[in-house]
Structure 1
Amino acid sequence: MNTPRSGSPSSADHLDRKVFADYLVRTRWFGGKGRSFEVTDIRVLAELPGRLDDSPHVLDHLVEVTYAAAGDEAGRSPDVELYQVPLALYEHPQGRLDHAFIGWWEDPTLGWVHAYDAVHDREAMACLLRSFDAAAAGELPEGPLAFRRLPGHDLDTTAHSTLFSGEQSNSSVAFGEDSLMKLFRKVTPGVNPDIEIHRALTEVGSDHVAALYGWLEVETAANADGIAQPVMQLAMLQQFFRTATDGWDLALASVRGLLGSPELHATDSGGDFAPEATRLGEAVADVHRLLAEHFPTETRGPEATVALAATMSERLDRALAVVPDLAAHADRLRGIFGRVAELGGLQVQRIHGDLHLGQTLRTSKGWKIVDFEGEPAKQLAERTLPDSPWRDVAGMLRSFDYAPRSVEHSQASGESDAELAELRRMRAGEWANRNRNHFIVAYGGDLTVEQRVLLDAYVADKAVYETVYEARNRPGWLSIPLEAIAQIGA
């Protein structure tokens, strides 16, 4: 392998910031669409070290985006984000990569180059995989890019890469049937919770996550005062389950099978999902147990439950301004949240933070939980704070409601037979109740009064959040969380 350019990350003055701004708005993963922004800096991190003579030069970059302050934010510090854009640089145009073309410019070292987003290029991704492989053997030169490896798995460096097209906030690349790389697009200084939790669960041999093989991070220089800065983690490499089925897709298939024969009850359907809900509840419980063993836990006093109840009530107040239909349920919801304030304490630990059926995979060896990044809208420091595991459970219960309701909703829109539509609605409710119950029993058995109070509140709080989301993005689906709210605590 050739020796790459290295050194401390630095601003790339030769790059046209408008070119990168134009590219960002064309991607699926850029979070600033619809907002006024400008690219205020482009930093070259380093060249990937795994290059062969006939490979492109692959340079990793951080693009700094600064958003214009809204009218009511005058005087506040500007909102700044960093996005990772690795570039594959070629001397000549690559027609096969036209869809990933960013621009062409004169590089200080290479001369005129054509630049492409590297995740779309198999040659560039092979370079990255070779770098991970060389890290295991201690063969990489010193540089700001650090490839970290965990022992126990030999990578297949001959595997071709395939970029997943459905990714929204990151970029995922599979290498044959051997491994999967998630490249984080929006990056923040500090340890990424997805890497942190996968590492802990891999090292204790958890059966319910994809094993972590390694990760890529950049070691930033000390600031002007000589204070060391936190690392910035850029990508993770882990076990790949080629034949796995997304939990959401599996649930939808079960629902469609049931609603296709609505004369059958959920217990009679050949696609009954309850056994899977049971196994999934056991998997989530085991992951929570391991997280409690390997990360700090805390018993918080009465002030914690009072604050939690207040936060939920405040979210309801804000939601009422967006979803007036919530007013009919507001007093009952405040009662549900108020009971949390009376609990007198709260057990917290590390949790998933954004758990639903879409964050699970059904493999031939059981259920796997994926994507431990937490809620993307939250700051990194907030996503790593201990929280109640019942928040995760509530997310799964809401997902068990959304799956049948979304199918029933789509079928009802074209159904002229009112009696058949009502029968399907009843069967959708049966499916949701049956699978929620099986999941809960497998997760926690018979719940205590205190556990039920917490769970009801988290479910209601999640549904309130959903009403705002649906009102703003899918008004036709607003009835799904509203119907759930009508049943909670009724």
Structure 2
Amino acid sequence: MTTSPPFASPVAWSDAGQHTDIWSDLCQTLLPPYINTCRWFAGKARQQTGLQMRAVMPLLIDAESGKVAYLTILTVSYADGNPESYLLPLSFVSDRATKERTFGVADVPDKGRIGEVQLAGKAGLLIDAIYDERFRNALFNAIYDNQTMAMPEGQIRFQRGQGLDEGDRSLPSRVLPVDSSNSAMTFGDKYFMKLYRKLFRETNPEVDMVAFLTDVGQFTHIPAFGGSFVWERDGIADVTLGMVQRMVPNDKDSWGQTGDYLNDFLYAVPQRLFTIREDVFEKAELLGRRTGEMHNALYNPTASADFAPEPFTDEYRTFIINRFESLLEQRYTLLIDRYTELDPLAQRLAWVFMEAREMIEAFINDFRTRPLGSLRTRIHGDYHLGQVLATDTDFVIIDFEGEPESSITDRKIKHSPLKDVAGMIRSYHYAVSAKLFNSAETEDLDPAYLQRVSDRWFHLIRDTYLDAYFDTFGSPHPLFRNNNEINFLLLIYLLEKAVYELGYEISYRPSWVKIPLKGIIDVVTEIEKIRLSDGVTLSPDIPMLQKGLLR
């Protein structure tokens, strides 16, 4: 229990929604110190200048007694940068309720307790409402019933999805004891509800994607869409507040599973044996098929504008090129600043990368003008082995929120599905490289030998994955005009992904810098092959790749 003095107001909790002064007072007293203890609050490291209550929306949680909780939206202002909005549901637990054991303080963990309050002479505790089972059930049942609730501003629309079964209206619930950027609750150990804490002025891409894949694409290898709830206001973009999905039994994600499979390979390397179990190929092949099926489900020429396929427009090309050029400039600067901190192999790779700058820039410029007949669709956007759960016999793809560092608008931009494919290929490269270069079993081995061995494993698994992926589409397919465009676009996205990865490794894991650098050099090697076969497109004045620096 907090040691701060009780917060007092003559207003009863059930009437608080109509009194702005109580919310203003809470924003000055109990709420700021509380949200700064919460894992989901991203502004802890920034200088905060104010907390305001943007909206207060009542939710009836007990029809018999008339008890309510409030979905409140807080706006946090900062000395620098834009303000942020957060969802904080609030409930009141009276001392009387605690004594009667209907629902009491003992049921609320410390991290859910905001502070002592006294409202209309009634003492109790203000809590985060996710720890009030009545609140959780009210949300879930509203989704089950497809309710729409009028609010002081706009309305909350609860939408039920095909993944929520009949007869599951009221289920026991609990809060998952994990700290993350959102809050997670389960219902009947059958459904998973994610409450989005940091809010954006448009619908969440994850909800859009999961709903489309389940209800339109009929793609079964994701946790099925059970429903969502959205704050709607006339003339203003809708705000997604939460989503329900089916729970999926799983052993681990595919990163962990791939790491387990790599152990056998790792133990054989010091004996100069090259061994890959057949089921490793089978898993890579299966994941390639599931990835292709996901992209097939997202390809829908008759879909609404949000999901209909589009061509490679000048606007899109400019967006990619501007992002790419900014990344390159940042990464070259970082490499120069941190060069002396790198190990010898990473230094040699860095030199080749820096010497290849003109070739990379010419390749990017080629993307600006090259005719492309392939199409773009919505994609996963942050696709890697950690986003795929491994069940006993199959895979389930999760987490469709998109690239964490991108804006919500940018996460909804349509790309070639090959951007997802590039992400998975890079993930496989990370898996084998991290295992071989960071294990005690191989620390005394020649880095050049480890590089050759890891390359062989990676190329075999990559090709297995790609062959299975393209087999799911058939040929020709509108998403991919021809093999030349496939190769060209895959190189664009592989290069962008590896350059993106490089920034993180330089800043936080210098010993891993060689992994994205090797990925970059592999791509530039393929670019050089294009140069040699397409001298009209790439200038003959650009120097050849200086791979001799790697010796």
TM score, norm. by length of structure 2: 0.75
In the alignment, structure 1 segments of 5+ residues that lack a partner are 70-77, 223-227
Pick one of 479, 485, 490 that aligns with 1:450: 485
8 Å Cα contact 2:146/2:158 also seen in 1: no
- Distance in structure 2 (CA, Å) of the matches to 1:9 and 1:442: 61
Q: Distance in 1 between matches of 2:496 and 2:523?
A: 11
- Residue equivalent to 2:241: 234
Change (3 A) 1:307 1:65: closer
CA distance 1:23–1:261, shift in 2 (3 Å)? farther
Q: 1:90 aligns with which of 73, 93, 106?
A: 93
* 1:286 is the counterpart of 2:297: no
278-287 or 244-253, which deviates more = 244-253
Q: Alpha-carbon deviation of 1:103?
A: 2.4
Matched, 1:20 2:31: yes
Cα contact 1:281–1:443 (8 A) shared by 2: yes
Separation of aligned partners in 1, 2:287 and 2:75: 40
Q: CA deviation at 1:136?
A: 3.0
**Distance in structure 1 (CA, Å) of the matches to 2:125 and 2:427:** 45
Partner of 1:356 in structure 2? 384
Contact kept in structure 2, 1:195 and 1:215, CA below 8 Å: yes
CA distance in 1, matches of 2:84, 2:239: 13
Closer, same or farther in 2 for the Cα pair 1:425/1:254, shift >3 Å?
A: farther
Deviation of 1:487 after TM superposition, in Å, equals 2.2
Preserved CA contact (<8 Å) 1:100 1:117: yes
Distance 1:110 1:385 in 2: 53
**Cα distance in 2, alignment partners of residues 88 and 336 from structure 1:** 57
Change (3 A) 1:20 1:478: farther
Counterpart residue identity of residue 212, structure 1: F
Equivalent positions of 1:327-338 (< 5 A) are 327-338=354-365
What 5-or-longer segments of structure 2 have no aligned partner?
1-12, 96-104, 337-349, 476-481, 526-551
Q: 2:112 aligns to what?
A: 100
Query: CA–CA distance in 1 between the matches of 2:114 and 2:445?
Result: 53
1:312-323 to 2 correspondence within 5 Å?
312-323=324-335
CA contact (8 A) 1:101 1:115 kept: yes
Counterpart CA distance in 2 for 1:51 and 1:365 is: 43
CA distance in 2, matches of 1:236, 1:86: 15
1:10–1:45: 8 Å Cα contact kept in structure 2?
Answer: no
Q: Which residue of 2 is the match for residue 157 of structure 1?
A: 170
Which residue is 1:74 aligned to?
none
- Please say if residues 178 and 239 of structure 1, whose CA atoms lie closer than 8 Å, have aligned partners that are also in contact: yes
Q: Match for residue 41 of structure 1?
A: 52
**Cα distance in 2 for residues equivalent to 1:297 and 1:409:** 41
Determine the structure 2 residue equivalent to 1:296.
Answer: 308
* Alpha-carbon separation, structure 2, partners of 1:257 and 1:118: 48
Query: Partners in 2 of 1:26 and 1:112 — Cα distance?
Result: 24
2:253 counterpart residue number = 246
Single out whichever of 228-237 and 8-17 deviates more from structure 2: 8-17
In the alignment, which residue of structure 1 is the partner of 2:262?
Answer: 255
* Correspondent of 1:81 among 63, 80, 84: 84
Q: How many residues align?
A: 466
Matched, 1:184 2:219: no
Q: Does 1:59 align with 2:70?
A: yes
Deviation at 1:132, TM superposition (A): 2.2
1:388 aligned onto 2:416: yes
Q: Distance in 1 between matches of 2:383 and 2:18?
A: 38
- CA gap of 1:25–1:364, structure 2 versus 1, over 3 A, is same
SS at match of 2:264: helix
Cα shift at 1:156: 6.5
Amino acid across the alignment from 2:256: D
* In structure 2, C-alpha distance between the alignment counterparts of 1:245 and 1:264, rounded to whole Å: 30
Helix, strand or coil at the partner of 2:421: helix
Contact 1:126 1:160 in 2 (8 A): no
Greater alpha carbon shift after TM alignment, 91-100 vs 250-259: 91-100
- Are the structure 2 counterparts of residues 158 and 21 from structure 1 closer, same or farther at C-alpha, using a change threshold of 3 Å? same
Select the structure of larger CA radius of gyration.
Answer: 2
**Partners in 2 of 1:136 and 1:302 — Cα distance?**
44
Amino acid at match of 2:364: F
Separation (CA, whole Å) in 2 of partners of 1:165 and 1:65:
24
User: Kindly tell me: are residues 110 and 320 of structure 1, through their superposed partners in 2, closer, same or farther at Cα, counting changes over 3 Å?
Assistant: farther
SS of aligned partner of 1:482? helix
- 1:135 to 1:395, Cα distance in 2 relative to 1, 3 A: closer
Once residues 410 and 23 of structure 1 are traced to their aligned partners in structure 2, the CA distance between those partners, rounded to angstroms, is 40
Secondary structure, in 3 states, of the residue corresponding to 1:21? helix
- How far residue 63 of structure 1 moved from its aligned partner, in angstroms, is 1.7
- Partner-residue secondary structure (3-state), 1:173: strand
Retained in 2: the 8 A contact 1:308–1:340?
no
Question: Which of 391, 397, 405 is the matching residue for 2:425?
Answer: 397
Which stretch of structure 1 is more off in the superposition, 60-69 or 140-149? 140-149
Q: Deviations over 1:106-165 (max 9, x none)?
A: 45x68444233333x2xx245323442254346786544433213551337333424152
Is 1:373 aligned to residue 380 of structure 2?
no
Secondary structure at the residue paired with 1:181?
strand
Tell me if structure 2 keeps the 8 A contact 1:301–1:344.
no
Match of 2:444 among 417, 441, 465: 417
Q: Distance in 2 between matches of 1:34 and 1:95?
A: 31
Q: Sort the Cα spacing of 1:187 and 1:435 in 2 relative to 1 into closer, same or farther, 3 A.
A: same
Q: Distance in 2 between matches of 1:424 and 1:55?
A: 68
Tell me the SS of whatever aligns to 1:14.
Answer: helix
Distance 1:371 1:297, change over 3 A: same
Measure the CA separation in 2 of the matches of 1:140 and 1:487.
Answer: 54
CA distance in 2, matches of 1:190, 1:110: 40
Task: Provide closer, same or farther for how the CA distance between residues 39 and 402 of structure 1 changes in structure 2, counting only shifts above 3 A.
Answer: farther
Q: SS state of the match for residue 56, structure 2?
A: strand
Normalised TM-score (structure 1):
0.84
Greater displacement, 306-315 / 180-189: 306-315
Q: Does structure 2 retain, via aligned residues, the 8 Å contact 1:355–1:392?
A: yes
Are residues 1:209 and 2:222 paired? yes
Change (3 A) 1:402 1:137: same
Q: Tell me: CA distance 1:47–1:368, structure 2 relative to 1, closer, same or farther (3 Å).
A: same
Out of 448, 456, 461, the residue aligned to residue 496 of structure 2 is: 461
How far is the alpha carbon of 1:101 from its aligned partner?
A: 2.5
User: Aligned-pair RMSD on alpha carbons?
Assistant: 3.3
Q: 2:539 matched to which residue of 1?
A: none
Per the TM alignment, residue 184 of structure 1 is displaced from its structure 2 partner at its CA by 0.8
Matching residue of 1:115: 126
